[in-house]
Amino acid sequence: GTTVERVEADFDVTPAKTDVPEGGTLAGNARLSTFLDEIRSYPGSVAPPAKAEDGTSGLSPYLAFGALSPRQVYHRLQADAPACRGREMLVSRLYWNRHYHQKLADWPGWTGRSVNPDFRDLFRERRDPDVDRAWRRGQTGFPMVDAAMRALVETGWLTFRMRALVATVYVYVLKQWWRRGADFM
């Protein structure tokens, strides 16, 4: 089984992240207020990686750790955000967030195995420590992947599109077992 000692032995757990958001409900509400002031620019800044760091809502850690609830964010959007495409997009993302939380409640095995049985053991026996290390350090030779991995290591955060990119490259291009990459991320 997984233990703290095993994780510490397998992974570098030394806290080295920078630019980590301040935790707590007050900080979460402050971030939400800032985002609501900028919500009209959200549609054009959420996807491009160079804009996404500052262009996304920045609410993920507050939602993930329970400092804000999706319901609180939804109500603030309805009360304080102008009717615009940015508001519609964030409401949609809140619904998708709840959708996948429900899927995990219905099918808890999703986090531990592939939904598609054909992929369950894909590359499980293959492990190239040099390739794995290069991916983790952002030294694969794929500039977008490398930049994303360095950002992840430095900040602990990536947009959902960049998470999908680095995971896809790890498995389908570098041919490494998904679980090792997921554990690192």
Cα 79 to the center of its chain, rounded Å: 27
Structure tokens at 88: 């519609």
How far apart, in whole angstroms, are the C-alpha atoms of residue 145 and residue 133?
A: 13
Helix axis angle, 25-38 to 70-80, nearest 10°: 40
pTM of the predicted protein model: 0.71
Say whether pLDDT at 154 is over 80.
yes
Query: How confident is the model over 56-114, as pLDDT tens digits?
Result: 888 888 998 999 999 999 999 999 999 999 999 999 999 988 888 888 888 877 777 77
Helix (H, G, I), strand (E, B) or coil at 7: helix
